[in-house]
Amino acid sequence: AVIEIERAIEQLLRANRPVLLIGEPGTGHEIVARALHVSDTPFVALANGARFATNPLQVLEEAREGTLYCAEIGTYSKAEQKGLAFLLPKIEKHNTVLVCTSSEQLGNLAAEGRFDPALLAALSAGTVMLPPLRQRREDLPALIDRFWREITASQRTLGTLQMGAVSALSAAYWPGNLDHLHNVIANLALTIDNEITGDHVRRLLGETALPPPSAISPEVTARFFELPLREAREAFERIYFEQLLGKEQSNMSRVAERAGLERTHLYRKLKQLNIRFSRRSDEGAC
């Protein structure tokens, strides 16, 4: 999912189109916008559209040669929408990257008379959907690694993230999506100055450490029935073993016992499914 999103955005930027990011709260609207931003150029972030109703040209001038980030344009008033629409033909001349976001489907708002259909039409060619984490669980290990490196690079930390912690984070339920995940990893980095384990993650997350059945079943079930049998089996096995690894803190003896497999078969299966694991976490286990 990450690679597909990056490719879509790169194509839009090459075509000098505004980018419209649609996704639930916390799915990374501003993270994506800042990733697009060229360093040492202006980054103008607007939490609402008030300035578009008064002096939109001033906003665009401030963002010249940089990025203009407009959050939640679905909440804009008619006057604010008009100001944003007024700027669209001028974006290219100012060499400004325009990134707009919405956690609501703008088409629904337009049908209800709450959003300008002409503005929606002008922005729709640049639409990029940001899926919630529950629909892109395969990206979680890479996201966890990226957030950990970014956080520890910007602040002094003595902790180390163990594979049991990565497994627990990967198996957890993230109703707040990327922002939620990022904040939990930041908390772990700030508060623990030794090895961070799966127990640390579960104590911090409490009841959200593992997704409730209602949070997994609809999406997973629907996905399985859309796949050929072999791919559906692999998808199920990946979720099954990630859950076991998280629950058992990557203790391979206990994971193998619960799965009814020999340990050598378990290692082979995890490698086949591209699931990260550590042999060290169950040393001495019986």
Tens-place pLDDT, residues 130-139: 988 888 888 8
If pLDDT is split at 50, 70 and 90, which confidence band does 285 have? very low
pLDDT at site 33: 86
Mean pLDDT of the chain: 84
Neighbours of 50 (CB within 10 A): 13
DSSP 8-state code for residue 70: E
Query: Distances from the Cα of 262 to the Cαs of 20, 147, 252, in angstroms?
Result: 50, 34, 10
User: What is the model's pTM?
Assistant: 0.66
Instruction: Report the greatest alpha carbon distance in the chain.
Output: 70
Is residue 284 pLDDT above 50, yes or no?
no
Tens-place pLDDT, residues 111-133: 999 999 999 999 998 999 998 88
Contacts of 23 (CB under 8 A, 6+ apart): 29, 101, 103, 129, 130, 131, 132, 177
Q: With H, G, I as helix, E, B as strand and everything else as coil, classify residue 68.
A: strand
Please name each of the domains of the chain with its CATH number: 2-131 (3.40.50.300), 135-282 (1.10.10.60)
If pLDDT is split at 50, 70 and 90, which confidence band does 225 have? low
DSSP 8-state code for residue 38: P
Is residue 6 pLDDT above 90, yes or no?
no
The mean pLDDT of 237-258, rounded to a whole number, is 80
In terms of pLDDT, which residue wins out, 209 or 247? 247
Tens-place pLDDT, residues 203-222: 898 855 555 444 444 555 55
Strongest mean pLDDT among 19-33, 53-67, 271-285: 53-67
Tens-place pLDDT, residues 158-181: 778 888 889 889 888 888 899 999
Tell me the H-state helices in the chain.
2-14, 29-36, 50-54, 56-62, 78-87, 106-111, 117-124, 140-154, 163-171, 177-191, 198-205, 213-226, 229-247, 252-259, 263-272
Query: Distances from the Cα of 173 to the Cαs of 131, 181, 204, 239, 258, in angstroms?
Result: 14, 9, 13, 13, 22
Task: Say how far apart CA 146 and CA 169 lie, in whole Å.
Answer: 13
pLDDT at site 223: 58
Percent of the chain with pLDDT over 70: 88
pLDDT at site 281: 42
Tens-place pLDDT, residues 54-67: 999 999 999 999 99
Is residue 193 pLDDT above 50, yes or no?
yes
Percent of the chain with pLDDT over 90: 38
If pLDDT is split at 50, 70 and 90, which confidence band does 13 have? confident
Contacts of 11 (CB under 8 A, 6+ apart): none
pLDDT at site 51: 96
Task: Indicate the angle between helix axes 163-171 and 177-191, nearest 10 degrees.
Answer: 150
Cβ atoms of residues 174 and 181 within 8 Å = yes
The mean pLDDT of 187-205, rounded to a whole number, is 89
Q: Which residues pair with 98 in a beta bridge?
A: 68
The mean pLDDT of 230-252, rounded to a whole number, is 78
Q: Which of 90-94, 158-162, 209-213, 229-233 has the lowest mean pLDDT?
A: 209-213
